[in-house]
Structure 1
Amino acid sequence: MNREEKKTVLAAVCGAALFLLIQSLHITLKGTFERNTLSALYLVASWCTSVFGFAIFAQGWLLFSNQLSRGRLYSSALFLGVCVFDLLHTLGFVGVPFIKSIISEDRSLWLLTFSRLASSIGILAIFGKEDTPMLVSGKNSVLRKSIILVALSLVIFSAGCYFLPGIVSPAKADFAMKLLNFFVLIVFLLAIAIIVYTKRMVKSSSLLIIIRSLVFLTLGQAFYMSMGGGMNIALMLGTVSSAVAYYLLLTGVYRLTIEEPFNEKHEIEAQINYLVYHDDLTGLPNRRRLLQCVDEMIQSHRTSAIRGFSALVVLNINHFKNINDSLGHYAGDRLLQLVAQRIKEASQHGEELFSMGGDEFAFLMTDRVGLDSCLLRSRELLQLFEKPVDLESGEYHISLSLGISVYPGDGETAEQLIQNADAAVHNAKEQGVDIRRYVPLMQMKAAERLKMENDLRRALERDEFYLEYQPQVQLSTKELVGMEALLRWQHPKRGLVSPVEFIPVAEESGLIVPIGEWVLTTACRQNKEWQTAGYRPICVSVNLSMRQFLQPNLAGKIGEFLKRIGLDPCYVDLEITESMTLDKEKAFEQLKRLKELGVFISIDDFGTGYSSLHYLKNMPIDRLKIDRSFVSEVMEDSNNAAIVSTITSMAHHLKLKVTAEGVENEDQLQFLRQQRCHEAQGYFFSKPVRAQEFENIFLKSATFGMPS
């Protein structure tokens, strides 16, 4: 229970206790002085009631007219009439000349009853519903209606005072007043109950103030019902309770319809402003805020007499896409939060961390004494991740690449410094190093990379890609048993672009998915054409990218395509890398769906990744391909020879085929045959060739002249 709720409960308890105390004491007035004193107090309380009632009207009608709400407008109209009735009651009851001749003491009590009746029903109708905004143009209409209603009520009251005394006896009139007062009490209690019940989940402080005002109105009504006739303590306390209630209602309506909406608007604006300059996931300042801070840093350097250095470091999480794609976006988001938290906790004075979006962060260091200090601090950031990051699925070792731009020297504006640091981090990733400081040549490479991405987007449309095929030979029989489809790009101006150059760009930009689909469909269609031409069927191997492999509908798309062209799935070998099996459960489900099609599955470049042997034995795969880096030095490096021997032995025990890549000479071939390697491919047999050349050389003669 908060403070305002405690106040409300305390008001109700104290009010009930005061009423019971007064009723039990039976206080009576014994002298003229006491009567005069009580009359004076009553007059002050009555005037306060009228003043507060008029203030409620003025607050809603005359002030803040551009912020109208239904609650404020109708409560203003209500209390215009209520304060008129209260004022006439006061003037008649205290015996003001002229008024007394029109409104006697008895009639003034009827005015008081009508005033309480109007306020009880009005408050119930207004605050028992949700408040809604209203147009300012409707304000005058409500004012006219309220004035007409007040005037009509006074006419009816005057007519009743003139005609009823001759028709209704005083006893019946007294009973009717008591019955009406009891009804008013019930309405006040009902209003409290409805407001408390309908707003039971969330009650603002303003609504609690309105509830307290209803408590005091109920207390005042109870005093009025017990006062009997004439001036007495109950009448005075009832009027005081009404004055307190009107003041609370004035405060509550102001807070509910003006102050709280105003504060809420400011809170929303503050939240919007926060979101504009902060990253929603990590809570870090974003790129927009970074631009402001770097601008401020540059201005500080230009105006300060102290000549130091400031550095902007862009940090990129290595292989984040693999982690995000393999473990899921939730794990990727959690990783970003943990990385941000670790760096932020290690930040020192004059340092601030920013989110650049995606898997990139920016770290701003100001007022450094030298370049060595900037580089040293950058290396300390890398050391923060020597310990693994703890995700729900386990602990993972991650690494960062850093790009640095230094002011002064590496840019004159905030945008230049950020772009140059970003170019430096991409260069670091390309070169496989941890840290790179910006040099102008990097910007040229970044521009070249962007141009290559744009050219890649048009390459499919312009039919610039083609496939080459490299034969795969069974070592025991010397027969051609398969071929690997390899992508090539013939650029109209650059000429032949190496896959080493354009494949990373395609993967980073997401273009690898449509390009990979083109490779798969083209290779399968070519294989079917050769089978239709009468050549012996062989298997075609196609590499899948990470993005392709993680498509939920991959198996369905491949199955539908193979069925359409009429190629048996057993003549398709899909090659994946070990990194694609990082999320074991997701990889297993995808492989299971692919195997149900009838295709073969190979793990390419085996030995360079981080597959778990425990999961490898359960994976629905058919073949391991030994990476060319082990085969190329198998005769010179005993470690490589041991790795190749171990992989082939393990494959035999797991009943998997094993294929060696990159075979270039006869010695390597003999070694692989001794290790009982099933198949091989490489320049010793043939370099990758175009489809027509592959058909002429290999399909018409499916064996190779190899030494026994």
Structure 2
Amino acid sequence: MNREEKKTVLAAVCGAALFLLVQTLHITLEGTVERNTLSTLYLIASWCTSAFGFAIFAQGWLLFSNQLSRGRLYSSALFLGVCVFDLLHTFGFVGVPFIKSIISEDRSLWLLSFSRLASSIGILSIFGKEDSPVLVSGKNSVLRKSILLVALSVVIFSAGCYFLPGVISPEKADSARKLLNFLVLLIYLLAIAVIVYPKRAEKSSSLLIIIRSLVFLALGQAFYINVGYDRNIDLLFGAVSSGVAYYLLLTGVYRLTIEEPFYEKQEIEEQINYLAYHDDLTGLPNRRRLLQYVEEVIESHRSSAIRGFSALAVLNINHFKNINDSLGHLAGDHLLQLVAQRIKEAGRHGEELFSMGGDVFAYLMTDRVGLESCLLRSRELLQLFEKPIDLESGEYHISLSLGISVYPGDGETAEQLLQNADAAVHNAKEQGVDIRRYVPLMQMKAKERLKLENDLRRALERDEFFLVYQPQVQLSTKELVGMEALLRWQHPKRGLVSPAEFIPIAEESGLIVPIGEWVLTTACRQNKEWQNAGYRPICVSVNLSMRQFLQPNLAGKIAEFLKRIGLDPCYVDLEITESMTLDKEKAFEQLKRLKDLGVFISIDDFGTGYSSLHYLKNMPIDRLKIDRSFVAEVMEDSNNAAIVSTITSMAHHLKLKVTAEGVENEDQLQFLRQQRCHEAQGYFFSKPIKAQEFENIFLKPTIFGLPS
């Protein structure tokens, strides 16, 4: 229970206690205070009540006219009428000349009852519903209707007050007035219930003030029930309670219809401003705020006599797409939050981290003493991720690439600095290094990369792709047992484009999916054509991209086109990478669906990724392919030799085949034979060659003879 709620409960308890105390000491109080004194005190209390009532009208109607609301306008009009009744009652009750001849003391009590009846019904109608804004143009219409209603009510109630006492006996009139006052009390209590009942878990402070005002109105009405010629003390306490209630209502209406909407509008504007300049996921300032801030830094450099260096670093999480696709977007989002938190916690004075969206961050370093200081700090940021990051599914080692642009020198505007730092980080990723400082040549490469992506989008429809095949040889028999289909791109102007250049672009842009489907279909169709030509059936290996592998309908697609081509699935080997198995459950389900087709499954570049041996033994795979980086230095590096030996030994125990990639000489071949490696491929046997050449060299001879 908050402070305002406690005040409301306390007001209700104190009001009930006051009423019981006054009723208990009623005779004593009446005898202690003279009638003239009571009349004077009552007159003062009534004037205060009327003043508060008129203040409610003035506040709602005359002040803050640019912030109109239904509740404020109608409550203002209501209390304008109530004030008229209260004043007529007061003048008549205390015996003001001229008024006394028209409104007797008895009739004034009826006016008081009608006044409270009008206020109770009005408050119930106004605050029993949600408030809503009112156009300024509608104010005059409300004013005319309210004045007409007040005038009509005054006439009707005045006529009733004038004629009613003459129609019925004084005893019955007194009972009728008590019944009317009791009815008004019930309406006040009903209004409290209507406001409190709605399922709003927490009431605003202004609404609680209005509830407190209703508590005091109900208390005043409880005193008015027994008011008569000899109950002036009740009339006084009723007037005091009403005065307190009117004051609370004045405060509550102001807060509810003016102050709260103002602060709510201010809060919404602050929230909109925050969202405009901050990333929703990480809470970091965003690109818009970065550009704004960098411009301020540049301006301060220009206007300052002291020349320092400021650097803008763009950081990009390596292979984030694989992690995000494998573990799911929730895990990816959590990873981004943890990365942001780790960098932010390591921040120093004059440094600030920004989110560029996705897996890209920017780090601004101001007032550095020199270029080396900027580069040294950049390296420290990358070293933060030598420790793994804890996710729900386990610990993961991640790395970041960083590109940096320095002011002055690498750009004259915030946009240029950011663009150049972005070009530097892309260059770092392409070169496989951790950090790069911007040089103008990078911008040219960035433009070339963009053009290459545009050309790549049209390459498939222009039939610019073709496949080459590299043989896979069984080491024990020197027999050709398979081939790997590899993609090549013959650009009309650039000539042959390296796969290392266009494959990453295809993966980032999503073009890898249609391109991968073309590779798989073309390779399988070629293999079937060779079988139809009478050559001995062999298996064709095709690499799957992460995006392809994660398609839920991948198995169905493969089954459909294999059936259409007429190729037995046992002659298809699908190669995946270890990173595709990060999400063990999804990977296992996908692999099971593929194995149910009858295809073979290999893990390519084994030893360079994230595989867990615990899961590896349960996965439905057939072969491990040792990465060429281990084979290349197997004779010079004992560690690489140990890795190759361990992988082959493990594969034998798991009853998996082992294929070594990148075999280039006889020594490597003999070492692999000693390790009982099943198969191998590499330049020692043949470079990747086109289909016709592969057919002539490897398919027409029945036995492939290895070079001696």
- Shorter-chain TM-score bucket reads over 0.9
Corresponding residue for residue 325 of structure 2: 325
Deviation of 1:447 (Å)? 1.9
- How far the C-alpha of 1:527 sits from its partner, in A, is 2.6
Letter in 2 for 1:603: I
- What is the rounded CA distance, in whole Å, between the counterparts of 2:427 and 2:131 in structure 1? 59
Question: 1:627, 1:661 within 8 Å by CA — same for their partners in 2?
Answer: yes
User: Aligned-pair distance for 1:77?
Assistant: 2.7
Is 2:600 the partner of 1:600? yes
> How far did 1:163 drift?
4.1
1:67 matched to 2:67: yes
| Counterpart in the other structure of 1:89 | 89
* Aligned residue in 1 for 2:393: 393
1:377 corresponding residue in structure 2: 377
In the other structure, the counterpart of 1:364 is 364
1:434 to partner: Cα distance = 2.4
C-alpha deviation, 1:166, in angstroms: 4.3
Residue in 2 that maps onto 1:688: 688
Q: Secondary structure at the match of 1:67?
A: coil
TM-superposition CA deviations, 1:412-467 (whole Å, max 9, x none): 11111112222222222222322222222222222222222222122122221111
In the alignment, the residues of structure 1 paired with residue 166 and residue 104 of structure 2 have an alpha-carbon distance, to the nearest angstrom, of: 16
Q: Give the AA of the match of 1:181.
A: N
Tell me, what secondary structure is at the counterpart of 1:361? Answer: strand
Q: Provide the secondary structure at the position in 2 that maps to 1:189.
A: helix
Q: 1:541, CA displacement in angstroms? A: 0.9
Pair 1:303 & 2:299 matched? no
Is contact 1:28-1:232 (8 Å) kept? no
Specify the SS of the correspondent of 1:447: helix
How far apart in 2 are the matches of 1:298 and 1:158? 77
Q: Supply the AA of the counterpart residue of 2:317.
A: I
Amino acid at match of 1:198: P
**RMSD of aligned residue pairs (Cα, Å):** 2.3
> Contact between 2:60 and 2:76, CA under 8 Å: does it hold in 1?
yes
Alignment partner of 2:353: what SS? Answer: strand
**Is structure 2 residue 377 aligned with structure 1 residue 413?**
no
Separation of aligned partners in 2, 1:567 and 1:678: 25
Q: Tell me whether 1:623 sits opposite 2:623 in the alignment.
A: yes
Residue of structure 2 in register with 1:609 after alignment: 609
Distance 1:689 1:165, change over 3 A: same
How far does residue 408 in structure 1 lie from its aligned partner after superposition? 1.3
Q: Does 1:506 align with 2:506?
A: yes
Aligned length: 707
Q: 1:199 to 1:687 in 2, by over 3 A?
A: closer
Please report how far the alpha carbon of residue 218 of structure 1 lies from its aligned counterpart in structure 2 after TM superposition: 0.7
- Residue 481 of structure 2 corresponds to 481
Given that 1:39 and 1:231 are in contact with CA atoms closer than 8 Å, whether structure 2 keeps it comes out as no
Is the partner of 1:689 in helix, strand or coil?
coil
Name the structure 2 match of 1:472. 472
1:461 to 2:461 alignment = yes
> Unaligned 5+ residue runs, structure 1?
none
Query: Partners of 2:518 and 2:467 in 1: how far apart?
Result: 10
Tell me if 1:79 matches 2:68.
no
Partners of 1:651 and 1:657 within 8 A in 2: yes
Q: Matches of 2:668 and 2:310 in 1, distance apart?
A: 54
Superposition deviation, residue 296 in structure 1:
0.9
| Larger displacement relative to structure 2 (247-256 or 518-527) | 518-527
Moved more, 630-639 or 495-504: 630-639
Deviates more, 1:462-471 or 1:286-295: 462-471
Structure 2 distance, partners of 1:538, 1:341, is 52
Q: Superposed, which structure 2 residues align to 1:131-530 within 5 Å?
A: 131-198=131-198, 201-229=201-229, 232-530=232-530
1:67 & 1:528 partners in 2: Cα distance? 79
Describe the shift of the 1:638–1:51 C-alpha distance in structure 2 as closer, same or farther (beyond 3 A).
Answer: closer
The 3 A distance-change label for structure 1 pair 161 and 432 is: closer
1:620-656 CA-to-partner distances (Å, cap 9, x unmatched) read: 1001112223334445555444443433332222111
Deviates more, 1:240-249 or 1:124-133: 124-133
C-alpha displacement of 1:534: 4.4
**Distance in structure 2 (CA, Å) of the matches to 1:161 and 1:269:** 53
The answer to whether the Cα contact below 8 Å between 2:107 and 2:162 also exists between their aligned partners in 1 is no
Determine if contact 1:467/1:519 at 8 Å carries over to the other structure. yes
Q: Tell me the residue number matched to 2:113.
A: 113
The amino acid that maps onto 1:88 is: L
For 1:82 and 1:333, how far apart are their aligned partners in 2?
A: 60
Closer/same/farther in 2, CA of residues 3 and 639 from structure 1, 3 Å limit: closer
Q: Residue deviations 1:45-83, cap 9 Å, x none?
A: 212222222222233333334433232232223223222
Contact 2:314 2:361 in 1 (8 A): yes
Secondary structure at the counterpart of residue 409 of structure 2: coil
Whole-angstrom distance in 2 between the partners of 1:579 and 1:622: 17
Alpha carbons 2:479, 2:705 under 8 Å: kept: no
Q: For 1:707 and 1:696, how far apart are their aligned partners in 2?
A: 17
Do the aligned partners of 2:664 and 2:684 also contact (CA within 8 Å) in 1? yes
Using the size of structure 2 for normalisation, the TM-score is 0.94
Which residue is 1:2 aligned to?
2
> CA separation in 1, counterparts of 2:370 and 2:103?
92
Q: Using the alignment, how far apart are the partners of 1:499 and 1:287 within structure 2?
A: 33
Question: What is the match of residue 589 of structure 1?
Answer: 589
Q: What CA deviation, in whole Å up to 9, does each residue of 1:338-391 have, x standing for no partner?
A: 222222222121111111222222221111222222222222223322322222
Aligned to 2:385, what secondary structure does the other structure show? coil
* Deviation, structure 1 residue 161: 4.1
What letter is aligned with 1:685?
F
* C-alpha displacement of 1:115: 0.8
Residue 55 (str. 1) matches residue 55 (str. 2) = yes
User: 1:89 corresponds to which letter in structure 2?
Assistant: H
Question: Which amino acid counterpart does residue 468 of structure 2 have in structure 1?
Answer: E
Amino acid at match of 2:594: L
CA distance in 2, matches of 1:540, 1:402: 39
In structure 2, what is the Cα distance between the partners aligned to 1:207 and 1:638? 79
* Partner Cα separation in structure 2 for residue 59 and residue 679 of structure 1: 91
Q: Which amino acid aligns with 2:186?
A: I
TM-aligned CA distance change 1:448 to 1:191, over 3 Å: same
> Residues 191 and 399 from structure 1, CA distance in 2 versus in 1: closer, same or farther, beyond 3 angstroms?
same
Compared CA separation, residues 449 and 707, structure 1 to 2 (3 A): closer
Q: Secondary structure at the match of 2:365?
A: strand
Alpha-carbon distance in 2 for matches of 1:28, 1:609? 92
Per-residue deviation, 1:404: 1.8
Q: Which runs of 5+ in 2 are unaligned?
A: none
Would the aligned equivalents of 1:317 and 1:398 in 2 still touch at CA under 8 Å?
Answer: yes
Conserved? CA contact 2:466–2:489, under 8 Å: yes
**Structure 2: which amino acid aligns with 1:53?**
G
Q: How far did 1:29 drift?
A: 5.0
Contact 2:53 2:80 in 1 (8 A): yes
Once the two structures are TM-superposed, the CA of residue 479 in structure 1 deviates from its matched residue by 3.6
SS state at 2:402 partner:
strand
Q: Tell me by how many angstroms 1:184 deviates.
A: 0.8
Percent identity between the two aligned chains: 89
Q: Secondary structure at the match of 1:384?
A: helix
Contact 1:35–1:231 (8 Å) recurs in 2? no
CA distance in 2, matches of 1:299, 1:380: 28
- Identify which range, 663-672 or 190-199, moves more after superposition: 663-672
Alpha-carbon distance in 2 for matches of 1:135, 1:594: 66
Q: Which residue of 2 aligns with 1:125?
A: 125
